[in-house]
Amino acid sequence: MPNWKKVIVSGSDAALNSLNVTTSLTASGLIYPTTDGISDQVLKTDGNGNLFFENVVTTTISIKNVSGGIITKGTPCYITGSGTSGNVAGVVPADAGNPTLMPAGVIAGVTLNDGDEGVGLLNGFINGVDTSAFASGDQVYVSVGGGYTNVAPTGSALVQKLGNIEKVDASNGSGVINGPNATRSVPNINPGYLWVGNSDWVATATATSSIQNVVSSSFATTSSYVNTLNQNITITGSLAVTSSVSINNSTYSNQTNILNSETKTIVSIFSAGAVHMDYYVTDGSSARAGTFVGTWDGGGSREFYETATNDIGNTTDVTFTVTIPGSQLDIECTAASSGWTVLTNTRTLTV
């Protein structure tokens, strides 16, 4: 039987059927562990020649700094193919304020000078970074201008969560990387807009000023919305209506007209019915308030009357009358001089 010590010392290439090391083993400067790990652990190195068993805590790829500057450890990076030969991922710092540098696809696992290659973290755990500005448990996002922040960007900036802070420290802070996600599918939105699904089921920024058209063209013709509106509605604040409101056979409207030596039609009805109009006329110094009521049989007959306050000053230049210019009835206001403001609140009843 060969002397194993002599074989090993002499450097012989004799074949060994087995070798049992009962203490420690160092081979080519690498110190191997003396006990086994647990199921699914892997053999790792600390970079100083010490091997050990540990759970897989991070998923990594090889990256190359192609930014033209330094990328510090922990920087969220946008992946670009520029400047690489295809075997590593070229990266530049991600920027929530620049859509062309989003989303972040990897976190720098080491500090890289321009052109250097190193480790990029896809998910898992990171330590040795500055987390002094945060609190344990804080959510971390790509920051506007690059880097990371615990405040979700606002305005036109994109929002992308990276993970959470664990240990708070100026140089040895740590955190969990969730795996750089895509930016929030529905980003921040401009004031005065809301999200409306388009024909492709995609949320589309829509001006609230256009909702009036949506209500008139869609909601009013949809049975479910009509049923909802037929229920009791309680308004605890104010209701602003810029056009008219129709309830069954009644229509309510408000108008402001400026008359300068002219005649304007204030309201029209197109079938038999009645008009009730409250008005206020003024030129800034003279004023009058009143009520004008008219009725029409749908043909050539109509009746009307007007009641009014006494004038403040002189408002005789402003008069109201009823005409039938065809298949409708109009209430007209005539101003014989300029600078008259006519405010009206009208209710029409038609059959």
Q: Are residues 169 and 72 in the same domain?
A: yes
- Asked whether residue 64 falls in the same domain as residue 50, the answer is no
CATH of the domain at 294: 2.60.40
Give a yes or no: residue 40 inside a domain: yes
Overall average pLDDT of the 226-233 stretch: 53
257-305 per-position pLDDT tens digit: 999 999 999 888 888 888 899 999 999 999 999 999 988 898 888 888 8
The model's pLDDT over 176-192, given as tens digits with 9 standing for 90+, comes to: 998 766 777 677 888 88
Count of domains forming the chain: 4
Are 93 and 37 in a shared domain? no
69-107 pLDDT per residue, tens: 999 999 999 999 766 777 899 999 999 999 999 999 999
- Give 302-327 pLDDT, tens digit per residue: 888 899 999 999 999 999 988 888 88
Q: Which of 152, 150, 206 is nearest to 183 (CA)?
A: 152
Average pLDDT, the chain: 84
pTM higher than 0.85, yes or no? no
On whether both 71 and 119 belong to a single domain, the answer is: yes
Over residues 190-197, the mean pLDDT reads 86
Are 150 and 112 contained in the same domain? yes
Do 37 and 102 belong together in one domain?
A: no
Tell me which residue range forms the domain holding 205. 193-229
pLDDT at 192 (0 to 100): 86
166 and 114 inside one domain = yes
> pLDDT tier at 14 (50, 70, 90 boundaries)?
low
